Structure 1
């Protein structure tokens, strides 16, 4: 491994460790009103759009029965809707509703509001660096998505 590859490796290890810590911190501010699994499921539907339950289970890394139960609960609350799959009459597709989009956005904003005090000391240059780094990371992730 070259020095450059070693530096990249160490950076990625640090990134994985710290994104986990950040997610844990952010999750600690999540409301008990909506289970985290609901927001995670809605995030997947936001990112990937309407999909079969089997595809959702694969992306969520859950069993199909667990995914079915989770999506059924979201459907009962009006956050997702089930639709017949036009390509396979036996299959069901799920899509996020406007109500689901609203609770996802509300949940995210609630967490962001709670995180602001932890970052209030950042200056404009630091905020710009974080925003630029996040934009770069988002771009890399989009082109590397294994799904």
Structure 2
């Protein structure tokens, strides 16, 4: 891989983290980022075991257990039995959880709009193309890295559409 691409990808990750923080601060969000990350993972994976959810969300299993309990109490997720093993449960996002996630993303976008409203159309087109490239690459990577027992079709995080 060319060093230039390595540098660009490193900058992309760094800027993405900074942009997320700017957006959350501008939207005056009070929820933990772990809430939105967990709901995003559930939206993209479909039903998933708690350990896999913790792994994908990059938190410990005890932390995820507490987070899942809080989100279930809010009605944003639910647990369902695993059809392959009745002793195991899987976590799934509910319509209320999807609505909360969509509302949060809309709020973030609206909070960022003043920072980007003056972009020329060509830069907006570039951002749109970059998002499409990243969405495709991330979806392909998630498909390769998915635990074999998940089984559910993946949905794209941004649109909720089933990824093929």
TM-score > 0.5 by shorter chain: yes
* Aligned counterpart in structure 2 of residue 142 of structure 1, from 129, 136, 139: 139
Q: Which residue of 2 aligns with 1:9?
A: 6
Structure 2 residue matching 1:83: 3-state secondary structure: strand
Q: Which residue of 1 aligns with 2:76?
A: 79
Q: Which residue of 2 aligns with 1:62?
A: 59
Q: RCO greater where, 1 or 2, for CA within 8 Å and sep 6 or more?
A: 2
**Alignment RMSD (CA, Å):** 1.6
Q: Deviations over 1:38-63 (max 9, x none)?
A: 11111110011111111111111111
Q: TM-score, normalised by structure 1?
A: 0.89
* Aligned counterpart in structure 1 of residue 101 of structure 2, from 101, 104, 122: 104
Q: Which residue of 2 aligns with 1:26?
A: 23
> Is the radius of gyration larger for structure 1 or structure 2?
1
The answer to whether the aligner puts 1:125 opposite 2:108 as a matched pair is no
In 1: Cα distance, 2:26 partner to 2:80 partner: 33
The answer to whether the aligner puts 1:116 opposite 2:98 as a matched pair is no
In 2: Cα distance, 1:5 partner to 1:137 partner: 18
In 2: Cα distance, 1:135 partner to 1:13 partner: 18
The answer to which structure has the higher helix fraction is: 1
Structure 2 gaps of 5+ residues are: 147-164
The answer to whether the aligner puts 1:52 opposite 2:58 as a matched pair is no
Structure 1 gaps of 5+ residues are: none
Structure 2 residue matching 1:92: 3-state secondary structure: strand
In 2: Cα distance, 1:137 partner to 1:38 partner: 22
In 2: Cα distance, 1:79 partner to 1:13 partner: 33
Matched length: 144
Q: TM-score, normalised by structure 2?
A: 0.80
